[in-house]
Structure 1
């Protein structure tokens, strides 16, 4: 009897409540399945944690498994269902076809699909299309939910110079706020260019929001243009046009931004803010006087 070298692949959730898909549970599931087949020998169990199934690019364990198959180390791959393998129809078919050419089958246990069988690809195409459509709907639901929370004033994104953001709430960080005020004063009152301000901040050893002394004219310009400092909140400055790639793009009118005026405690009063915006418009670019 020929020995079948078997690998298992699972994509596990980071949600502690999602115990049904935990790595330990899936590992026991695969081991029990392999033990029922005496000619199967486990080579490895590959698991990616908390990574979307719509793209395989960032799934290191998935790619390691494919590399092992390409190296001739596997005969069969087990996975629970199509949605655990990939939610992108093109990826699913491309990988299973390549694996088939290399003599490696894929067995989707719950979906009862075996790519080694004649009708395997047809059934896989149908199931992967369903999985991809479910992923699209999930993406829409998540985006809709995020937009409603944004409208309620929940802040999405991380902390920045002068503000701490935690659990969707934004509060003033006094140490950082003093640096912000210094930058606005240097621009409006001292009439210094952003390049000069950046150099002075570097020379003074003052850290940016990331805790490093790496100021540039462009960095200072961004501080001066950030509407959060006058208490306003503008969200959805970027958007994700393709739920499959998750690639973000700058929102140039493709989607409506969510703007809340006087959302939080300002660091810079609105009169000063407006005057600085006029000054920046006069200068025209980050390094100008």
Structure 2
């Protein structure tokens, strides 16, 4: 998709009505001992159930964060919002070693003891059943070269100084001097339906859709699509979380109801079974 997608979309699944950005990660599958696969469903972040929202009614499980500093303060540094046409990726499906995965502190997993579990992050898939599922975490770089909206590898125009977690990222280098929002994804994968199907040999049974059974190659895509100056207004404000806008809470951003979020969907162009057991992963 080319151009300003913020002006091309007709609806958004996001709580904020001016956010038409595209957010993507791979799909997770459970591999049964008999060799068949079943797609792991997502579920919503429990924190989205506050301030008038019923989280259980939200379809999907990806939560997107735009932080300026960390979760405790917005700091006093100017944050430059992304520009129309901006895109980037983080991680690589070709990463196939533990050391390679550890080299990206912003790409991690949490074995959820409850849906509110945070911390205890690992660079690979959890090696035992998780009581409340697996959370995949993607922290994008926040230092921009100030010139290019994209690059051939979709990464060189950005520079990562992330320290992992939601800690404030390090200073930007002179090659990439412009501080942009720190974008992060949290995707909640509901693996609980498979807890009694764990392989008898104890092997880890989850795989990404590109046949990654270790989790080392986790990656994500981002395509900016906020309308007008809405994201810049939010970055210039001191609001955090629901105080930026929520049903019943007037903030700097406009919001919509869960019902309106769920009405927005892309018409399927490929016929595939997303609920049943598959003999092989899609595309293989």
TM-score over 0.5 (shorter chain): no
In terms of fraction of residues, the more helix-rich structure is 1
TM-score class, shorter-chain normalisation, is under 0.3
In terms of fraction of residues, the more strand-rich structure is 2
Q: TM-score, normalised by structure 1?
A: 0.18
Q: TM-score, normalised by structure 2?
A: 0.18
Q: Which has the higher contact order (CA 8 A, sep 6+)?
A: 2
